[in-house]
Amino acid sequence: PGSSPCRSVIMGAKAVGVELNKKLLNLQAGEHLTPEFLKINPQHTIPTLVDNGFALWESRAILVYLVEKYGKTDSLYPKCPKKRALINQRLYFDMGTLYQSFANYYYPQLFAKAPADPEAFKKIEAAFEFLNTFLEGQTYVAGDSLTVADIAILATVSSFEVAKFDISKYANVNKWYENAKKVTPGWDENWAGCLE
């Protein structure tokens, strides 16, 4: 529940009407390192999806897979190459910049009791500046409707909120976030995971 990548998959599954059979792994106890789990995912990361024997990990790849396999329409991941490319760019931005800035700043504090690193905090602010720019004049992060990019970034931004990062300084992000919370299926479960 504390993992924004896991929460993004939960919201994505809800958006396409897939009921997940969730399995909670205790990472501190090393449950992701058992031989059984390593057979499914040798990279031993979460989330990991197993769909009728097909195993996939990396939350953004799982989101795309769920929409392509189970979506009733292509609205969450349109077939148009330009729209899809923009969504992909935002997904990679989330993975490599936005979520990474969260991990680099907060994880050492949470898991290693390290002091806050002001340089890592500057990377968070830079990531939010980029996101704020992407959202100039936009209701959604990649086009004119909710997509998997919004779902992934919503899970990440909600983690920043629960960590007490001041999102309100970024007007476009703040406006998008308030709307995304209302229109994204599974928001309530996402927020409950954040609070946990």
User: What are the Cα distances from residue 166, in Å, to 66, 79, 128, 187?
Assistant: 32, 36, 10, 20
Catalytic-labelled residue, pool 3, 8, 59, 159 = 3
User: What three-state secondary structure class fits 88?
Assistant: helix
CA–CA dist 85, 144 (Å, integer) = 14
8 annotated active-site:
no
Q: From CA 193, how far away is CA 176, in angstroms rounded?
A: 20
> Which residues partner with 192 through β-bridges?
none
- Residues catalogued as catalytic: 3
